[in-house]
């Protein structure tokens, strides 16, 4: 695996971690009894994601990594739809598709 591919994989993993961190923070806003536990889990994942992203920047230019990181919007949308049951409009799904296409173009030229 090349260094660029490793960096891209790390950023992609960061997007998933950030998606779950956002999910846990939302759960903390909904929870009555375990609010602190959910919030602590979300914050811990954000710190872990920042460390991973810093590692990814060793292998990628920030001008490549940051646009790929926009896939976290996709992860949050998918997780909020399927784990939280939130409604996502067609327009928002179209925006998610545009983000995927844009990130794909960045990866193709990395």
Q: How far apart are CA 23 and CA 1, in angstroms?
A: 31
Convert the pLDDT of each residue in 48-105 to its tens digit: 999 999 999 999 999 999 999 999 999 999 999 999 999 999 999 999 999 999 999 9
Q: Where are the domains of the chain?
A: 3-108
State how far the alpha carbon of 17 is from the alpha carbons of 71, 105, 108, in Å.
11, 22, 23
* Residues 31-43: tens digit of each pLDDT: 888 899 999 999 9
Reported pTM:
0.91
Structure confidence at residue 1 (pLDDT)? 84
């Amino acid at each position: 695996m090349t260094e660029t591919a490793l960096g891209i994989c790390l950023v992609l993993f960061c997007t998933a971690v950030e998606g779950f961190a956002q999910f846990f923070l939302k759960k903390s806003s909904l929870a009555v009894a375990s609010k602190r536990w959910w919030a602590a889990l979300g914050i811990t994942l954000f710190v872990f994601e920042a460390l991973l992203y810093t590692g990814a920047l060793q292998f990628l230019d920030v001008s490549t990594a940051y646009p790929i990181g926009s896939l976290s919007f996709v992860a949050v949308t998918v997780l909020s739809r399927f784990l939280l049951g939130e409604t996502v409009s067609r327009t928002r799904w179209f925006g998610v598709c545009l983000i995927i296409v844009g990130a794909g173009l960045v990866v193709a030229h990395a």
